[in-house]
A and B are shown apart, each in its own frame.
Chain A
Amino acid sequence: MSVRDLLSPFTAWKNLFRDPVTIADPLNDRPGAPRYRGFHQNDMEKCIGCGTCETICQNGAIDMLPVEGIATKQGDSGLRPRIDYGRCCWCALCVDVCMTKSLTMSNAYTWVESDPDAYRFTPGVDKKHWDNAELGYHRPDGHQLMAKTRLHMGEMEPEARIESFAEIVEGYTIEQARLEADRCVSCGLCIATCPAHMSIPDYIAAVRDGDYERGLKLLYETNPFSGICGSVCTHKCETTCAARHDGDPIAIRWLKRHIMDQVSFEQCLAVVGHPGPSTGKKVAIVGAGPAGLTAAFDLAKLGHSVTVYEALDKPGGMTRWGIPEYRLPYARIDQDVDVIRSVGVDIRCNVRIGKDITLEELHKNHDAVLLALGLQLGRATRIPGSDHADVRKAVDLLRQATAYEDFGTPRQAVVIGGGNVAMDIARTLARLQKKQYGQVQVTLTALEDLSHFLADPDEIKEAGEEGVVILDARGPQQVVIENGQVTGLKTWRVKAIFDEQGRFAPSYDESDEQFHAGSMVVEAIGQMTDASLLGEALTEQLIWNRGRLQVDAGGCTSEPWLWASGDMVRGPDVVSAVADGHRVAKSIHEMIAVTEQAK
């Protein structure tokens, strides 16, 4: 044995004094690359449970499941993605498509478990050591599968639109509508928000496919006022659209309108079909607005004989008499109403309950009576001078404008109010002034500051573009009258309209007084129902709930033959009135069925 043989085993000892070439604890100490696509993370504050990740996953590795402690609410399904690492291929499409950027991938890649089922986990809920890892794969800015910006809908320029009452918006072309529809990920969060629960993702898909007949069928399944809603719906659905978290919400209302623009009246008639086989039962409906006519449509389709009584000379309710033509052309109302007529609904206009026919007669001659009255009376400020004949209510003027009545357009006018009705009358007056005097002189004052206006931001913007001077945070104090003529409105600055708790508690700066000149002052504040048709006796008989008729879930009042629906029960909103009309029709139909069974 040589010396070399003896020493050679110890030559490796030299490595004791060198840096190691391997990792001492490879399970814990070897980080993934900074942009490695490792285990998932989900930010619970951002996730809305839209399920887009589940839809895009090619391997079926993601399931949307309810999670304890996370409630379903508007704009959040309450579901969260559970990932199955037995299926996941780490492609990161789920991260790329995530609408809120809540889903990311950490650079962690080691995880040891003895239970194979543990590899199905819900990121953000099941706590893991990589939850707070900062490195990993995050969707890069600018890398987005869906377009962020909604397709602009063409509209008339302010200078042109102020010249007439022609409709402002043009509607999408087919190409525009398809591009806009392409932005929708069909998550369906909008369905829960829509009061009528319209099949929004499905009809958007129909637009994408160019299948307008399918779109039309889907619209009429839930909304016989789709023409009207396509123009003036409050589109609450868009406030919960998943796309709004990283871009513009989908133009849902405009896509609905697009379907209606693409189909003919005859196609609408074909889709709604015929009334159901006659049941021999009769229902009277008071008020031909969206709630009353939706209920009439449903009941007629079920085979009941429905008569709608309308006090004014045309049906449509506040959609006709309260919304100016530049926002909602009357032809669109006529079409929706005519489709409803086609299923056998008998609409009798110029019939005033209490004058031409009594409620008792309706009760006596029908199996059920529905009140769908709307909010047709304007509230008054009752400030000094407000009882002058030239202090008018906005709802009255809008009604007169619809009827093309001359109410004496003032050269200068002041509007009180910050809601959509205030904008409607201000813009109506602006058009009339432009036509009659060649210039617009309308001042709009509101208690609220601009951020608390009830009007749609678009309405405020467009009113300003049309020359309406908008003054926010002004409290009306007095209508100034000189020599028997209204000369304007005196206001004080509102220092605060709400207290720290957000309650209405206006305080004024009396030193900041302004005078707004105008020969007419228009009050456009709250609205209420004219319930005088009920009469004293029935009013006493009915049960009321804090100023409103008490109704059950189906809209039935405390009198078993009388139902109430729409704005008078729910407050002003077209699509809510449509939803209410459906509910009430179902309730009336059930009552009739139960009564028949009992015989």
Chain B
Amino acid sequence: MTQIEEGTVHGIDRLRGKTTLREILEVATGFEASARDFYNALIPKVSKRIRYLVEELAAEEQGHFDLLTNLAQRTDIAEQVKTEMERTASDSKFSDCLHLPNLGEQPDDQAVLQYAMGREHAAMHHYGELANTTPAGPIRDLFQYLASEETKHKLELEKIYYATIHRGGGV
């Protein structure tokens, strides 16, 4: 990219379209943290009989947050996280997901499950897209791992949703 090109509108757009892996990691870490905080704040609001669900969701998000935080602090991949890459649509979609819904004062299990499934679905897509646009290496492996984790989690939540909401049987 030349100086002249950078001065053009097209060049500025391209520059804005780029980001570093560190920045992407920060956005993703923020995404996990906000979800964790959301669930943690929800724990005392929900009835004890469904609290396990929210506690498990918070623990899940904490696990992902720890993983990303530890990765960002690793010295052996310091160079890689500086790599510039094309900003993907997913990068901004993470930010969209940070706008958390208002589930009311005492949400029930269905509302919590519906929110959690939506969030896992978005995260699964975003991490998958990030993995596809990240150069081969530990960061791509991480995004692939996270995409797979979110997929498993989403399937697990869907199973719970089906058993609880569609097939009956529970307090």
Contact = CB atoms under 8 A, between A and B. Distances in A.
A540 B155 CA distance: 30
Nearest to B164: A526
B109 A526 contact: no
Interface in B110-145: 110, 114
A525 B163 CA distance: 10
Contacts of A546: 52
B165 interface: yes
B168 A379 contact: yes
Interface string A342-385: 00000000000000000000000000000000010001101000
A127 B30 CA distance: 66
Interface residues of B, number: 24
Contacts of A503: 155, 158-159
Contacts of B169: 375, 526-528, 567, 571-572
B166 A525 contact: yes
A548 B168 CA distance: 12
A529 interface: yes
Contacts of B158: 503-506
Interface stretch (B7-15, B21-29, B42-50, B97-105): B42-50
Contacts of A375: 168-170
Contacts of A447: 166
Most buried by A among B163, B165, B170: B170
A491 to B, nearest CB: 15
B53 interface: yes
Q: Is the interface of B mostly helix, strand, loop or mixed?
A: helix
A539 B161 CA distance: 22
B171 A549 contact: yes
B167 interface: yes
A525 B161 CA distance: 12
A526 B171 contact: no
A510 to B, nearest CB: 16
A4 to B, nearest CB: 99
B48 A544 contact: yes
A529 B114 contact: no
A419 interface: yes
A350 B124 CA distance: 51
Interface in A368-416: 375, 379-380, 382
Contacts of B159: 503-504
B28 to A, nearest CB: 24
A223 B167 CA distance: 27
Contact of B47 (A526, A529, A539, A567): A539
The residue in B114, B164, B169 that gathers the most chain A C-beta atoms within 10 A of its C-beta is: B169
Overall SS of chain A's interface: loop
B171 A571 contact: no
Interface in B41-76: 47-53
Interface in A170-186: none
B110 A379 contact: yes
Contacts of A539: 47-49
A549 B51 CA distance: 13
A499 interface: yes
A263 interface: no
A548 B171 contact: yes
Contact of B166 (A526, A540, A568): A526
A419 B169 CA distance: 12
A481 interface: no
Contacts of A529: 170-171
Contact of B170 (A382, A419, A525, A528): A528
A546 B166 CA distance: 17
Contacts of B52: 544, 546-547
B168 A527 contact: yes
A421 to B, nearest CB: 8
A549 B114 CA distance: 23
Contact of A531 (B51, B155, B167, B171): B171
Contacts of B170: 375, 526, 528-529, 547-548, 571
A542 interface: yes
A454 interface: yes
A572 B47 contact: no
Given A539-B47, A539-B49, A544-B52, A526 B168 contact: yes
Given A528-B170, A528-B171, A539-B47, A547 B155 contact: no
A445 to B, nearest CB: 13
A544 B49 CA distance: 6
B48 A380 contact: no
Nearest to A501: B155
B155 A505 contact: yes
B49 A526 contact: no
B166 A547 contact: no
A547 B169 CA distance: 10
A540 B48 contact: yes
A380 B161 contact: no
Contacts of B171: 528-529, 531, 544, 547-549, 568
Contacts of A531: 49, 171
B168 A547 contact: no
Given A547-B171, A568-B171, A526 B48 contact: no
A526 B159 CA distance: 14
A553 B49 CA distance: 20
A547 B110 CA distance: 12
Nearest to B47: A539
Interface in A494-508: 499, 503-506
Interface in A537-558: 539-540, 542, 544, 546-549
A528 B163 CA distance: 11
A571 B168 contact: yes
Given A546-B52, A547-B49, A379 B114 contact: no
Of B49, B165, B171, which is in contact with the most chain A CB atoms at under 10 Å from its CB?
B171
Interface string A544-582: 101111000000000000000001100110000000000
Contacts of B48: 539-540, 542, 544
Q: Of A382, A419, A525, A547, which is in contact with the most chain B CB atoms at under 10 Å from its CB?
A: A547
A568 B168 CA distance: 10
Contact of B167 (A505, A526, A549, A568): A526
Which 4 A-B pairs rank lowest in CB-CB distance, beginning with the nearest?
A: A504-B162, A571-B169, A526-B168, A527-B168
Interface of B: 47-53, 109-110, 114, 155, 158-159, 161-171
19 contacts: A375-B168, A382-B110, A447-B166, A454-B167, A504-B155, A505-B155, A525-B168, A528-B168, A528-B170, A529-B171, A531-B49, A531-B171, A539-B47, A544-B51, A546-B52, A547-B49, A547-B170, A567-B169, A572-B168
Given A504-B161, A505-B158, A547-B171, 13 more contacts: A419-B168, A505-B155, A526-B164, A527-B168, A529-B171, A539-B47, A539-B49, A544-B49, A544-B171, A546-B52, A547-B164, A548-B170, A568-B171
